[in-house]
Amino acid sequence: MPDQHQTITLGGGCFWCTEAVYVKVRGIVDVESGYTNGHVKRPSYEQVCTGSTGHAEVVKLVFDPAQISLREILEIFFVIHDPTTLDAQGNDHGTQYRSGIYFSSPDQEAVAKDVIAELATSGIYRRPIVTEVLPLNNYSPAEDYHQDYFARNPHQGYCLAVAAPKVAKFRKTFARLALDA
C-alpha cells in the first residue's frame, strides 16, 4: 500500500451491501469485509451473528485521498444506510448491524464528528443519528466467502432485494464518483 493511501473502517449494516457500493467508488483502492470492535479475537461469522462477541460487521476501505476525500466517503456512507436505527438496518437486527465509523487517526475522528454534526443540524433525518465513532479495535477480516459477495452472487435473493438497490442509489446520487459512470 503506497504511503499516500489511508484506511477507514465503516459499519453500515450487512457488510455485503456496504462492500457492494464501495467497490464501485472511484478512489477506493481496496474493500475488505470484516469484523471489528468486539472482544473475541478472530471471531467467526457464526459467532458474530449471535451478538455475543460485540463485533460489528464492517468494511475496511483503503482509499487514495488524491482521488476521494474522507468527507466524500462519509457522505456516501450516510446516504446508503440509515444512521438513525440502533443495532439494525432494515430487516437485519442485532449489535453486529450497528452504524459505526472506526477511525485510525485523530484527523479521521474529527472529520467523522464534523459530518455527523452537520447532518444532525441539517434536518435530513427525523430521528437522532446513532452512529458510533470509535478508534478501530480488534479488526479481523471476514471469511473468504464473504469477500466480493455481491459480485459473485448478484442473483441471490438478499443481494437483489437489499444490496442492488443500495448500489443503484449510490450510482444515482454520486454519479461523479462511480467507477462505471
The residues assigned a catalytic role are 14
How far, in Å, CA of 153 to CA of 149, rounded? 6
CB 125 within 8 A of CB 119: yes
How far, in Å, CA of 91 to CA of 157, rounded? 13
How far, in Å, CA of 92 to CA of 89, rounded? 5
How far, in Å, CA of 111 to CA of 18, rounded? 20
Q: What is the dihedral of CA 133, 135, 137, 141, to 10 degrees?
A: 70
